[in-house]
Structure 1
């Protein structure tokens, strides 16, 4: 049973046994109350109402808010979270999450490449970082790449792809 009535107005704490008002729930997660109202308007939350019409949040609502926050931290938008919450179908879930997973993999690869460059600069023994072998390799790779005008059928939406070009 959830009880948080210490020093709170009755509209924020325990009005009904085991429930929280909107202020208490928002405070618990460090959110503004308007965020919870917005999530409710989007169909992400469905709080019960007391006799006075005030929102009452139970244990399931706490789980729901925590789930929304975790999914937002993972990079999902509220519309995607709403669609995911409306389906129990594994194939639909995969269809929704696959593009997000691919985007994250791409961002992770870019961050890894950036980290490699930075660490190369930190570990370089030369006074002039442009003389470091790792730096020179990365620059040579960049010089030999070019964006082609042709579209690779494997790329999404027919986007141009980078292609290595042998030096002339």
Structure 2
């Protein structure tokens, strides 16, 4: 197959390790954009191999599909991304990863105490959450999400 003809979905699945159904799902989510050949078959750019690899890695980092779509929108559509393109994206992801690392560190450091103090308003959390003050910040484990207990 000539490169100009693009990759068939089966070839893309083989190269990425993804199921054909997953590739179609990512297409539906706007993460890749194949074209159709004269026979109506999907054809993919070779650059889609890296795009899908990035999707799998970014999901492991905890990015949602909308966040991944936003990041990928910064890549060129008509050429293979360069090292500079990927470096620019990597720098943008640092902030997200740093926030995730900080959240995991807070979780680790507070795990032996009350997991999610403030999220369930347990009576024995009166020391850290009297009168359910954490509720003012919203639902969920407020202190683990970055809120700080009031003095």
- Give 1:70 shift: 1.4
Correspondence list, 1:24-43, <5 A: 24-43=11-30
Q: Which structure: larger Rg?
A: 1
Q: CA RMSD in A?
A: 4.0
Residue 44 of structure 1 pairs with residue 31 of structure 2: yes
- Per-residue CA deviations over 1:22-72 (Å, capped at 9, x if unaligned) read 112112222111111111111110123222121222221112111111111
- Structure 1: gaps of 5 or more residues: 1-13, 118-137
Match of 1:147 in 2: 129
- Structure 2: gaps of 5 or more residues: 76-87, 115-123
Counterparts of 1:76 and 1:29 in 2: how far apart (Å)?
19
Q: TM-score, normalised by structure 1?
A: 0.52
Q: TM-score, normalised by structure 2?
A: 0.57
SS of the equivalent of 2:21 reads: helix
Match of 2:54 in 1: 67
Counterparts of 2:65 and 2:94 in 1: how far apart (Å)?
13
Correspondence list, 1:80-95, <5 A: 80-87=67-74
Match of 1:9 in 2: none
SS of the equivalent of 1:108 reads: helix
Match of 1:57 in 2: 44
Q: Report the count of equivalent residues.
A: 120
- Give 1:98 shift: 5.0
More strand by share: 1
Counterparts of 2:14 and 2:22 in 1: how far apart (Å)?
11
